[in-house]
Structure formats: structure tokens, C-alpha cells
Structure 1
Amino acid sequence: MKRLNWYILLGVILLALSTLFYVLHYLVFKDIHHIFIFLIGDIAFVFIEVLMVTLIIHRVFEDREKKALQKHMNIFIGAFFSEVGIKLLGLLSKWDPQIERIQQGLIVEEETAEQKFRRVCRYLRKHDFSVEREKPDWETLKTFLVEKKDYLLRLLENPNLLEHESFTDLLWAVFHMAEEFDARKDFDYLPKEDYEHLHDDTERVYGQLALQWLKYMEHLIDSYPYLFSLSMRTNPFDPRATPIVQKSQ
């Protein structure tokens, strides 16, 4: 409110000064015609100035800021996948009853990393990310997630990531699942309703995580080919994935 009042006061002062100088101009030169010629000309130029500053120059700087912010956010996204995402995706994909469809499609020799990624994209974008109904190894998942809770919380505290809504949603989903698992001492005698609740949480994370992984890989293709190569050699959906560089890679 104080800032608004300050802006109003500044506006009034500037208008008063402008009026004062126009009056002074008239008193000195006695030429109202001359005053209106330049006044109308200046007003006409305001629209051009708005076009140049607001719509063109401002847009250029805004785009540059967005690109810089996106690059900065991708650093955190990459750190997330290195620390949490890749291993978590590997765990969840093992419990996917339809994962063999993706794995069979990846078994193609003599492909570059980029060609293999394009193939992964085609399969994953049509894939229904689900987790088997029979109880998966939730103890292993719990141990892994609980160890990463502090790391996830630090990421959520980063204000820059608020600009990336879909990734922030993923972080919240993973953190929520970690808290749900941490709140249970064991998974042997869960009621059906609670089992279904955990199952839904797991599937939510699995789907969001896979799609964010695809987006991150697309970023690496253009910006960091060497990181992309390693990511594809450790592809969590590929049963034969190995970090060892081979002839086709």
C-alpha cells in the first residue's frame, strides 16, 4: 500500500512539473500553436515507444531470461534424476506388467543413442504406466525413498523450480509417496483400501516420472550430447543397458 501511494505521489509530481513547464513555455514565447504541435507529436511517438519497448525489446529480454532460467532448472532436474529419478524409475518399471513391450522394442542392434531414444519415445508416449497388483517389493522402495527425503525436501525449497510446474508436481508426488511409505512399519497386513491407496500413489509417480525423464532426455540431446549418451546407456527401461560404450553407441 505504501508503494502504491508513493507511485501516485510521483505521478502527481511529474504531471505538475510537466504542466508547469508548458505554462512557462507559453508565458515566454506566447505561442500555443507551437506547444500543441510538439505535444501531439510527442503523444503520437508514445505508441511507437510502447511498441518498441514493451512488445519487442521487453519480449527479447523476457525470452532470454526464460531460457536462462530453464537452463538453470535443468541443472536441478538432472541432479534429481542422477540422485533419485533413474533408480526409482528402474524400480518401478520392474513392476510394470507391460514393460516387456517396451523392452522388446529396444532390442535393436546397430542403433545410435539418439535413434534408440526416438524408439523409446514412441513406445513410452503410448504406454499405460501401471504397477502390478500383486504386492511389489515395497520394503526396498521404502528404504530408498526414506533415504532421499531430505534431498527431495531441499529441492522443493528451491524457488526456481516453481516455474516448472510439471516437475514440481512430480517432486510433490515422490515426496508424498516417501512419507506414505515411511509412515508404515511394514506392509504385510495392510487392509485392501490402504493397499489400493499405496498402489495409486505408486502409479502416479511412475507415470509422471517417465514423462519427465523423456522431457529431460530431449533437453540433453540438444544441449549435452555426452550426458545424453550416458543416460541412454543406463536407460532404466532397457534390460541390457550398460554404461560400457559399445560399437553401436
Structure 2
Amino acid sequence: MKLKWETKLGIVLISITIIIYGTKFLIIGDAGESNTLTYIFNALGFLPINVLLVTIILNQLLAVRSRRERLQKMNMVIGVFFSEIGSHLLKILSDADPDLDTIRGDLLIRDSWTDREFDTIIATLKGFRQTIQIGRINLIELHTMLAGHRDFLLRLLENPVLLEHATFTESLRAVFHLSEELESRGDLSALPDSDLAHLATDLRRVYDLLTPEWVEYMRYQKTHYPYLFSLAMRKNPFDDNASPIIQQEKGI
């Protein structure tokens, strides 16, 4: 088993302490009197332990705090993406999915879900090939929407906070590539079938990458921001009956 550098350093420092106190015992024995030599050995013996406590333990605590802050900033950026364009884009793509009913029930996230249920659906999505019927998508309207958010997408791609989130960054690249593909074509209303098949592949790539990211985003909202999760759940892009308006339950 390969040890981490922290563990190796800890072993070395503790070994140094043992050697120092062992040397002290050999030189001055187990004398109870306090003198300068005893003080020096005690100070030297405690020094490696002090380094261990400060360098490793304190640094680890600071690293945990730093990771939490980066995670919070990263999920704030991801939340802005889904609020601005991501959820709407998923709505367009899911409406063009003829096989959505086979997985729709798994995407109707509820506030009673546990981590196990989120893990299950994410694992299912990673092994599931979603479909797109491009004839159901208004490419002109999609192009207009993506073009209107081009600067926004560029700023997200340049955001250093997202560098640690490889899967979401890959999703952003797929969305930006789709935007470029649509921008590169003049007339989107008269494309040959071969070109439509190519665009369908680009659309499916976005769909496949973005859906599990949306589920992870919903999990984070549920855990940390229940009030944001409530609205996101009511605006679920995979739910045909989704509405931000809270309806009164029957029988009340």
C-alpha cells in the first residue's frame, strides 16, 4: 500500500522524537532533576511533534475549509448556468426525446430523495444512451437562444473556479460547440439529412453530458439550499406538468 506524503512525514517526525528522547535517556539516564541539558532534550524532542501538529493537521484543516469554499463557489456558478440557460436547454432536448418515458420517472426528483437515490440515477444515466429526434427541435430558435448567451458561455469556460469540475466543463464545451455549429450555418431551415444527422449527434452529446450534471446540481441544492431546490424541483425540465406555482393538494 502506497502511503501518502503526510503519513510518511508523520512517521519520520515521530521517529525523530523517539531518537531524541532515546538519546536523552542514554546520556543522562532517568534522572529526575531538571537541568539545562534536560531542558534542551525536552525542547528538541517536542519540536518534531510541534511541526507535525502545525504542518500536517492545521494544513489539513485549512485545506478542508478551502475545498468547501471552492465547492460552494463552483456550485454557485453551476446554479447560474442552469438558471440562465441549462434548464431551458434540457427542456428543449427532453421534449425532442422520443424515448424519454423510459427514464422520465427516474428524473422526477422529490424532496424525499436520499443520496442513494441520486447515486442510482446518476449511475443509470452514465450507462444510458439518450435519443434526439431533431425534427422536433426548432433549430432557428435554439440558435437564437444559444447566440444570445454566447458571451455568458465564454465567461463560464474562462472561469477558473470550474477547472476542478472536469465533467461540467466538458458539458460546457459541448454546449459551446453546438452553438458554434449552429452559428456556422446560414440557413437552418433547409439543411440536408446528412447535416441534420451531424447536428443530432451534437445535440445528443449535450443531452447525455448535461443530464447527470443537472441531477448532481439538484442534489447539491437539496442538501445546502432547500429553498432553491424547491423552485428547481417545480421547474423540472423533464416533468411535463412542471409549474413554479405551488398547487394546493387535493383533500385539503
**Is TM > 0.5 for Structure 1 vs Structure 2?**
yes
User: TM-score, normalized by length of structure 1?
Assistant: 0.73
Deviation (angstroms), 1:132: 2.9
Distance 1:86 1:149 in 2: 16
Give 1:189's aligned residue: 191
Give 2:221's aligned residue: 220
Distance change >3 Å, CA 36–CA 117, structure 1 → 2: closer
Distance 1:141 1:35 in 2: 80
User: 1:67-86 counterparts in 2 under 5 A?
Assistant: 67-86=68-87
Deviation (angstroms), 1:50: 3.3
Match of 1:115, SS state, is: coil
**Which has the bigger relative contact order, CA under 8 A and spacing at least 6?**
1
Distance 2:201 2:78 in 1: 24
Distance 2:225 2:214 in 1: 15
Distance 2:218 2:158 in 1: 24
Q: Which runs of 5+ in 1 are unaligned?
A: 1-33
Please say if 1:99 is aligned against 2:100. Answer: yes
- The ranges of structure 1 where at least 4 consecutive aligned residues each deviate by more than 4 angstroms after the TM superposition are 34-37, 40-44, 104-107, 116-125
User: TM-score, normalized by length of structure 2?
Assistant: 0.72
Q: Which runs of 5+ in 2 are unaligned?
A: 1-35
Q: CA-atom RMSD, angstroms? A: 3.1
Distance 2:114 2:185 in 1: 38
Aligned partner of 2:124 among 116, 126, 132:
126
Give 2:65's aligned residue: 64
Distance change >3 Å, CA 231–CA 101, structure 1 → 2: same
Distance change >3 Å, CA 141–CA 120, structure 1 → 2: farther
Q: Which amino acid aligns with 1:189?
A: L
Distance change >3 Å, CA 196–CA 46, structure 1 → 2: farther
Superposed CA offset, 1:135-166 (max 9, x none): 44222222211111111111222222212222
Superposed CA offset, 1:160-192 (max 9, x none): 221222222221111111111111113423362
Distance change >3 Å, CA 105–CA 79, structure 1 → 2: closer
| 54-63 vs 195-204, greater mean Cα deviation | 195-204
Deviation (angstroms), 1:209: 0.9
Superposed CA offset, 1:5-38 (max 9, x none): xxxxxxxxxxxxxxxxxxxxxxxxxxxxx78983
Matched residues, number: 211
